[in-house]
Structure formats: structure tokens, C-alpha cells
Chains A and B, each alone.
Chain A
Amino acid sequence: MSLASFRYSRGLTGTFELPTEAAKRLVHPSVEPVEVHHGTSVLVVSAFDFTESPFGPYGELVLAVLVAPFVRHGQVMPQAALYPFAVGTTNAAIRQMVLPQWPLPYWQEDLVCDFSAGEGQRKVVVTAGGAPSLEMTLYEHEWAEETQLHQVFAIGPSGGSAALITTRGQYSDHEDGRGDLKLHPHPMHKGLDVAAIEGPPLREACMAQGVRTIDSLVSL
């Protein structure tokens, strides 16, 4: 059973080291950042180019912190859980449709997500409201069909919810630390201490020709 399906042509997800004290400032006090080392949490930067969705084609940027998944007896274990602290889309319709049900921290201006690919690398350049937001370059590894299961939290003034999201398609990842993230000063990610982001990516994941489904959305 899925609530909604989204077909994508390409996607990039980079994870970066962020001091836990900086990560904690970005998440709700009820969730706990995952630490990759003692004192070091994980910033997730993810951009997707959706070609088919209930809202038409659109691009999406998610800035999130990796957090502990919520596990209940008998529940499927997600491979990771995300707490988005900034989400942008190229299409206002999705924000208007999703927000009443799911309090994601949407940036209310339309983004421009410019995806490109070079020799073994993929890049996304994002601008929001005409101002540059970020540039991320990630390198590819071997590709294979994979399924990823993530839990995504969103907590707003009137409560929170968690979605179980499946991403299935061509997937490539590695931890060789070759990619790069450039964050420009921008109000969309104003809570993020850009100077605290440490070094090259922990992991670089590229996705292509796949489907993302939201399988359940439950109130917290």
C-alpha cells in the first residue's frame, strides 16, 4: 500500500560530517542525531529530479540531519531516518498539497535545480528566489538496482508525523570522499552552521531511473 508514487530520472544524496552540537540545533528536541563518531553527526543533502508525480514534474532539495529511527514492536526497520530542516521544490503545487498533511519545513519560494552529469560525476546547482543556495558534486561508483527504506520525520507547531519512504531504482554509492559541497549564504538554510560542516562527503550516493513511494504517514 502506498500513499503516493513519484518517478525520478536522477537524484543525488551527499552526507557530511557536522558537529553534534550544531546538528542538535537543527532538529526537534524529541529526536536524536545519529553520530558517525563521538561528537560528530551527519548532514544529509539530497536533490531529486521527479519526472512524474501527482503534482507533475518537479525538482526537490532536502537538507536534513540523520536521526535515530523510531522503532516499535513488529515494525519494519528503516535503514535510516531523516529529520529535514529545510525543504525546497521547484513547484508550488506540491508544497500546497503536502503541507496540510505533513509539516515539512518548506521554503516558500520556487527553487531552480540544475542537474548535470560529467565523466563519472553528477552535479546539482540550486538557486532559490534568484539567489544561489548550493552546489553539490558527487562521484559515481558501480551502479545496481537497490531499494532504500527511510523514515522521514516532520514536526510542526501542531504536532508531527513520520513517513516511511521507499526509494527503488538504479543506485551507486561510495565513501571515497571525492565530492564537494558549496553552500552559499542563503536564508533557506539559515539555521545551519555552514562553517561547521567538515571536509569531503562521508558518502556519495547517485540515483537514477527509479520510483519513490510514500508508504505510510503517521502522526507523532
Chain B
Amino acid sequence: MEAVEPRDEEQRPVFSGYDYSNFYYGAGDDVLNLLDPFREWYNEARPAGYYLYAEAMSSAPTTRVRVRNGKTGREQDLLNLASYNYLGISYRPEVKEAAIKAVERYGLGSSGSPILSGTFDVHIELADAIARFKDKAAAILFPTGYSANVGFISAMMRPGDTILLDQYAHASVVDGAILAKSKTIFFRHNNPLDLERKLSGVKGKKLVVVEGVYSMDGDVCALPELLEVTRRHGARILIDEAHSTFLFGPNGRGVAEHFGLDKEIDFHLGTFSKSLGGQGGFVCGRRDLIDYVSGFGRSRFFSCNLAPALAAGLLAGVRILEREPQLRAKLWSNVAYLRRRFAEEDIDIGKSTSQVMPVMVNNDAKVFAIAEKIQDRGLYLQPVTYPAVPKHRSRLRVSVSAAHTEADLEEAVGVLSGVLREEGICR
């Protein structure tokens, strides 16, 4: 093919006419050819707002953080509504102490795969603790939440099987389905009628995958309705409770418990990185299931195990949750407070009914400037824009923590409402 002539600079669309989705696909004869146009775009996009991603933090992710501004390099002390850490666990003294002691005892890492030499006593204790907390026979640990979904789904499903995913499923769920090489069908978000339509006539093994809380909208899975359709069609169901384990339900087991359906769900998956502010993922269920996944979960099998210090810190965190259910009560009290205040200030949080609240900006052209202004006024929040969310549905994602005080939340409302009014986003 002859090269297409480069266009005059002034004829090119401006950088805002591009986004990450434009640089994913590129046919041609050299894998590096995409880098030139990508670099050209990114060199404009970064100072215009993309610098707000992955700014370096130099403090613990508590409610107040120190962040190095990605544009100016200046250190800023900010009120933090960006970190998960929904229960403020990761920096509790007993968690840090457990991790420090584990480092002294075990050293830095686990130095092996969990199925070979990388399993330590503290991993077994953590798996047992999480199984107990979730009221299941057994649990298996994964190095990350991502690897839990990828490993579990690809361990259970095969070519010729069918996996039905909510259209807003996390990338790890999608990647698990790709790795399983099963037929993958997406159903409309939280829509049992569409699931019904998509399941009709599907033969063979079928797995429906839903999430307890969806991470971009903060809405809760319509589990009773989706489960009823799933059962009627003889399918199995996996619930990824990454953003809901330890938070929802009378005992904090998750959205399945919240709906009284904990025993009806076939496969329960969760993470330690959200509510506990740590790292790692887990699957829990019957003993034979866990033994099977141990043998076939490649993302775990072929990874080094969680660092023992991390496992020890997580174990301390689970014990805090067991003895301090008031942390969940405090989180939900904070959520209720912030929802009320946002409503009073006419701040749109979409369909959120959880601790994840998207502050809707709905203006892709303005969202970075708004996020920059908000950070300049002392609030740490990330913008979320296309292609992570639909066009013109850009937002700022708020994560509420039990560790926030009402004064923290009021300060956040003040900054947000001030900037959003100035920018004409809310009245």
C-alpha cells in the first residue's frame, strides 16, 4: 500500500477529537506505527487533563493525602475522595503492625507459586478467615481481583460454553471470558428482560456474570430478577462483589446477602483492594469447587502468591471487620449524608445507590478543566470520561469511606458545588 500523504497540521482534528479508543486498533506492517500518532496526541492530551491520572501520592491513602501535581510537580495536600478504602482499614495501626511483623518473619515476598512453594501459614489463615466471614466452606486467594475473575472464569468455562455478561462488566470479567474461549454474549445493563432474550435457546453450559455494585455508576445489581431468569434457563451465576463485599448485607457478606440470596448464588468472588484497601482477590464456595479452581486457575497457578506481609495485613483487616460492624454503619451513615447534601446542592449522582457516587458532569469537553479546578481547591477526585463511560456521560467518581468525617464530606460538597455552579453544570 502506498503511504497516505500527511495532512497539513491545521487540517487535523484537534486532540480533543481523539481519545484512547482511537489508538487501540491499527493495521499495518509494523507494531510500532501506532506510537507516533499516539505520542503526538498524548503530548497534547496530558497537559490538557490526562495528567490528572496516576499522579504520585506520597502519603497513606487516608482521608487526607499528599499528591504531586502531574502538571506542575508541586506537592498538594488534598481531601481524598478518590481512593477505595471504603472502611478505612489499610492504615489502621493493627493492620500496619501485622504487616510489619510479617515482613520481619517472612521477608518481602512469597518466592513461589501458591501451588508449589509460595503458600505460607498466613495465606491459609486468610483463606479460612474469608471463608468464615462469607459463610462458605472454603476460599481460594488470587494475587489481584483482576486475576481472580480471569482465573476463575477461565478455570470453569470452555470453548463451546456460553458466558453471558452484563454490558458494564469489569474488564477482568471480559478478559476471563476471552481466555475461556467460550461464546460471549453481553446483555443490557441490569436488564433481566434482555438476559431472558439472550438466554433463550442457548444450549450447553451457561454462566451468567454480574457485579454486586457497578464501579462506574455505583448502582446495585438487580440480583433477584436476574437470578430468577438465570435459574429458569438452567444457567449458573457468578457474582463479583469487588465493590460490595464487607459492606452490604446484615453481616457484610455482600449484595447477595443484602437480597437474602447468598445461598442461591453459585459462585462468589471478591477483592481485598476495595473495602480493605489492600490487594488481592478471592473466590469462595464449596470445597470441591475451590480444589478444582486451585488446579485450573491459571492466573493464580502461574503467578507468585500474595506477599505474606500483605496477607497478614489483610487478615488483621478481616478481624477488625468481624469485631467492628459499626464501621459499616458509619459508612452507610456517610453515604446517606452525602446523598442528602448532593441532592440539596442539585448535584447529579446518576443511579448510584452505594458508596460509589458518580458526580455527573455530562460534558466531555469540560470535565478535565473542572477536575483540575477541583484539585486546585483541595479535593482529590479523578475524572472519568469516554471511552470508560458513554460519550457525554463524563463524571467525577467519588468513593465514600467510613473514615470520612461529616466535616470532610461537607468540605467536599462545598468544593464540588462551587466549581460545578461556576461551570454551569448545576444550578
Contacts and interface: CB of A to CB of B under 8 A. Distances in A.
Interface of A: 1, 31-32, 34, 37-40, 67-77, 79-81, 141-142, 146-149, 151, 162, 164, 166, 173-176, 199, 203, 215-216, 218-220
Interface string B18-34: 10001101111110111
Given A38-B177, A70-B27, A72-B28, A79 B22 contact: yes
A74 B7 contact: no
Interface residues on B, range: 35 or more
A175 B390 contact: yes
A120 to B, nearest CB: 15
Nearest to A217: B4
B178 interface: yes
A216 B32 CA distance: 23
B13 A149 contact: yes
Given A147-B13, A149-B12, A73 B7 contact: no
A1 B392 contact: no
Interface of B: 1-7, 11-14, 17-18, 22-23, 25-30, 32-34, 36-38, 40-41, 167, 174, 177-178, 183-186, 188, 390-393
A199 B392 contact: no
Contacts of A219: 1-2
Choose among A40, A146, A175 the residue with the greatest number of B CB atoms under 10 Å from its CB. A175
A82 B255 CA distance: 43
17 contacts: A38-B184, A39-B185, A68-B27, A70-B26, A70-B27, A70-B28, A72-B1, A72-B30, A75-B4, A77-B38, A141-B392, A146-B13, A146-B17, A174-B390, A174-B391, A215-B11, A218-B2
Contacts, number: 120
A146 B178 CA distance: 36
B151 to A, nearest CB: 17
B388 to A, nearest CB: 12
B13 A148 contact: yes
A71 B37 contact: yes
A149 B10 CA distance: 13
A196 B202 CA distance: 15
Contacts of A74: 3, 6, 36
Nearest to B177: A38
A147 to B, nearest CB: 5
B177 A73 contact: no
A173 B391 contact: yes
Contact of A72 (B3, B11, B188): B3
A31 to B, nearest CB: 7
Nearest to A146: B17
Contacts of A81: 25
Contacts of A220: 1
Contacts of A151: 4
Contacts of A203: 391
Contact of B4 (A38, A148, A164, A175): A164
Contacts of B27: 31-32, 67-71
A217 to B, nearest CB: 9
